Chains A and B, each alone.
Chain A
Amino acid sequence: MNDMKHRILCLAAASTVAFAAALPVAAQQTYDRIHFLVPGGAGGGWDGAARGVGEALTAAGLVVNASFENMSGGGGGLAFTYLIDNAASNHGTLMVQSTPLIIRGLTGEISQTFRDAVPIAGVLGDYGALVVAQDSEIHTFQDFLDAYAANPDAVATGGGSVPGGMDHLVVSLILEAAGVNAEDVQYIPYDAGGTAMAGLLSGEVVALSTGFSEAVDMAAAGEVRILGLTALERLEEFPDVPTFAEQGAEMEFVNWRGFFAAPGLPEEEADAFVATLKAMMETPEWEAVRARNGWTNIWYAGDDFTEFLTNQEEEMREMMTDLGFL
């Protein structure tokens, strides 16, 4: 009981501080309703993120009602167009997006970029990882590099995105950071995690470029070895998993998921969204949702978020140009 009270006090203090820093005039507000616009179908990654955040917000009492709208199409671009076209009536709407927004924006699949909406905050992220089957002859990232140097086709790497998509870019970024030309990487696209995993275990591909949380689950089942993860430092929760940075490939990649508001949103309303999300991140309710889904917290808000997105866009643009996708 005491502990609970303490937590609530801390939380109140934390959110007040966050608020005071962001905007002195506005007070902590409880939303009657936040509407989440999900650019993909029910059950997908965006959907999970929106519903998880919505659940935590309502459970923590920060929002009375969270509503969700799935609007798939155009690789996420359809929902974006809708938000822009109906900006005036969507001040209470948060659209969820993730790294593919940057990639698809660069290829022109999505005609908008993150600059066309109001970036609110990146709240959760997933590092990338490279895994091989447990019985593979490749034990370390160096082994992988040696095999690649001998014959790039011998280390075919699978992933869940199209060529030129996120998983392909991540493995290319890793190789380039190790000083190797990534143009020859034999990238094999699979449609979803399941078939990619089957491809790895059946020996069709030698390695898999995948999200770290998924890699951890596979490793826990005893089927794969993680060659490295795309963080700069080892993660506290997984001290045994080496980073690529420490294996000679100085690089970082985070697949973020974050929220955007309609263009033309008054600044104080944007700040209020930021404050509410920030407050949510510190609640036990969010912690429960986060742990259940195996997500990693990140926090980029407002201008920091824009800067983060700008940097990622630049990195991706370089990589995609090198690989001939732009």
Chain B
Amino acid sequence: MLDGILLGLSTALSVQNLFLVTMGCMIGTLIGMLPGLGPMSIIAIMIPIAIGIGDPSGALILLAGVYYGAIFGGSTSSILINAPGVASTVATSFDGYPMARRGEAGKALTVAAIASFIGGSVGAILLMIFAPALSSVALLFHSAEYFALMVLGLAAIAAFSGQGNVAKAVLMTLLGLIMATVGEGALFNVARFTMGFPQLQSGFGFITLAMAMFALPEAIFLVMHPARSGKGDKSAAIGKLRITRQDARDMAPVVGRQSLQGFFIGVLPGAGATIASFLGYAVERNLASPAEREKFGKGSVKGLAAPESANNAACSGSFVPLLTLGIPGSGTTAILLGALISLNVTPGPRLMTDSPEIFWAVIISMYIGNVVLLVLNLPLIPYIAKLLSVPRPFLIPFILFFTLMGSYIGQNNPTELLILVLLGIGATALRMADYPLAPLLIGFILGRMMEDNFSRAMQLYRGPSFLWERPMTAALLVLALILLVLPTWRSRRERKRKIDTSMGD
């Protein structure tokens, strides 16, 4: 293995390749900041250029830089303007955006950069050690287990509900699940709930819904409460960039745990970074002390670090099935697989023996991509964060522009804008009534995957018997039940204890 690492290092550390990875990181970060252009589209755009390089290692190194850059760029738009362009950075906005509003945009970006860096690096190291061994683990999961995993993700919704809002959160989750059923289902090519609009035949677009739930209501609120945005919002100042020693101490265990957990979830094809980030957030919230738990959703360093390290580690994890089995676990890795094949590299069990230099170059380039990204971005953060010092009257149209552009660009379809505005109005109304919107988006994201896997399992077993016949499915479902009941049980116990102590007075 050491030979392999050295081989990879010598390939990746050439002047040309270092230049490529730097370019890739820069392009990825810049384009990734625009909501609507996620890693998938950016990599698709870069593929012809990468293939033009001719040398597979160089091409891969460029693409790895673009990949990591784009993920980091996506976090930036989540934190600064509450506009997550990719599903895996939705959880980033839960605490990142409140931090930015509190005037800690610089710190939030730094936390995100460091958590991403550690997540990505740990992921790359784990990939190096475990890739061959883990390839079989990735295959343990059948549709039944994926279904149970999605249920687990949904059960974690309670974590996003805040206090006393469990009923509302569950309601919004259900609404999200219902919205996920719009369009053609997995088992029948019949359009459902499209009300005759062909634009809805493939369902609501993720980016449109994300923009409508998060960014658009935010902009509308800023317009409606100019006083609040002028005074209460201190983000005009970028705030301090440095993270305190206390922050570092808070972050360390979270990042450590989530780098590991994220990586292993990322190994499962199809689960990937999104589930990793949601579950990471939920797990950390459950592990936190009651006082800290209060801060989640209001700008907690832990709440920001958890999804950021988890989604980056999961991205590294998704390379396990890609490189060892040739199975792309996500849309992005599917595009990377296409690029590899056009470079005459066929990922699979033979890759490591047939062309070890490429296998190792990929892994090392991922690591270098992470380092370059950190070195490149830390000094840039003050300038990126300056975006928020733009006076509100100018910033609002800016947010609106990116929101609208983001949802238009993926589909090139003007109807998407109408859908966006209508959903945005609905979301604003819900927000005014104090309904949390994150569970809706999560329900929507997980609902599709859950339904697909559920219907596959149902068809394979010709009924629901997979729920008890497959031990791992049952175990995951029990875990989900615990996750669902735990917060309620905990708060009941606390209430009881309070009563007990007051009785004792």
Q: Footprint of B on A, CB under 8 Å?
A: 41-43, 69-75, 77-78, 81, 104, 107, 109, 153, 156, 162-165, 186, 188-195, 197-199, 201-205, 217-218, 220-223, 292-294
Contacts of B413 on A, CB cut-off 8 Å? Answer: 71-73, 78
Tell me the chain B residues, 334-379 only, with Cβ under 8 Å from chain A: 334-335, 337, 341-342, 346-351
Contacts of A156 in B (CB 8 A): 460
Contact of B325 with A223 in the complex, beta carbons under 8 Å: yes
Tell whether, in the assembled complex, residue B327 and residue A194 are in contact, meaning their CB atoms are under 8 Å apart.
Answer: yes
| Residue of B whose beta carbon sits closest to that of A73 | B199
Instruction: Give me the interface of B with A, judged by CB distance under 8 Å.
Output: 40-41, 44, 51, 138-143, 184-189, 191, 198-202, 269-270, 321, 325-331, 333-335, 337, 341-342, 346-351, 410-413, 415, 452, 456, 459-460, 462
Cα–Cα distance between A150 and B197 once the two chains are bound (Å): 45
Q: Contact check: which of A70, A75, A109, A292 meets B342 at CB < 8 Å?
A: A292
What are the nearest 10 A-B pairs in CB distance? A221-B348, A74-B198, A202-B139, A194-B328, A162-B189, A198-B269, A204-B142, A43-B44, A221-B326, A73-B199
Q: Residues of A contacting B143 with CB < 8 Å?
A: 199, 204
Instruction: Work out how many contacts link A and B, with CB atoms closer than 8 A.
Output: 140
Which chain A residues border B337 with CB–CB below 8 Å? 194
Q: Which of B139, B198, B331, B412 contacts A70 (CB 8 A)?
A: B412
List of B residues within 8 angstroms of A201 by Cβ: 139, 325, 327
Residue numbers in B under 8 Å from A107 (CB-CB)? 189
Closest to A153 in B: B462
| Nearest-CB residue, chain A, relative to B139 | A202
A188-B139 Cα distance, complex, nearest whole Å: 17
B201–A75 CB distance below 8 A: yes
**Do A202 and B141 contact each other (CB < 8 Å), given the known contacts A74-B201, A189-B456?**
yes
Contact of A42 (CB < 8 Å), options: B44, B184, B329, B346: B44
- Chain A residues with Cβ under 8 A from B270's Cβ? 194-195, 198
| A191-B411 contact, Cβ under 8 Å, with A43-B40, A222-B349 | no
Which residues of A sit under 8 angstroms from B326, Cβ to Cβ? 197, 217-218, 221, 223
In the complex, which of the residues B44, B141, B201, B333 has the most CB atoms of chain A within 10 Å of its own CB atom? B201
* Closest partner residue, chain A, to B328 (CB atom): A194
Q: Which residue of B lies closest to A48 (CB)?
A: B338
In the complex, given contacts A69-B412, A199-B456, what are 16 additional A-B residue pairs having Cβ atoms less than 8 angstroms apart? A43-B331, A74-B199, A74-B201, A75-B201, A75-B202, A163-B189, A189-B186, A189-B187, A194-B330, A202-B139, A204-B143, A204-B456, A217-B346, A221-B350, A221-B351, A294-B341
Separation of A191 and B185 alpha carbons in the complex (Å): 10
Let me know if A109 and B138 touch, CB within 8 A: no
Q: What is the bound-complex CA distance between A211 and B51, given in angstroms? A: 24
The reply to whether A162 and B186 form a contact with Cβ atoms under 8 Å apart is yes
Q: How far is the CB of A73 from chain B (nearest CB, A)?
A: 5
Tell me which residues across on chain B come within 8 A of A293, comparing CB atoms: 342
CA distance A170 to B8 in the complex (A): 43
Given A78-B198, A202-B141, A223-B325, also A162-B410 (CB < 8 A): no
Cross-chain pairs A/B with CB under 8 angstroms, 18 sampled: A73-B200, A73-B202, A75-B184, A75-B189, A78-B198, A78-B413, A162-B188, A188-B459, A190-B456, A191-B452, A193-B334, A195-B270, A197-B325, A198-B269, A201-B139, A203-B142, A217-B346, A221-B326
Q: Given the complex, which residues of B lie within 8 Å of A162, measured CB to CB?
A: 184-189
Q: How far is the CB of A36 from chain B (nearest CB, A)?
A: 12
B193 to chain A, nearest CB (A): 15
A192–B325 Cα distance when bound, in Å, is 16
Chain A nearest CB: distance from B502 CB in Å? 55
* Residues on the A chain within 8 Å of B328, using CB: 193-194
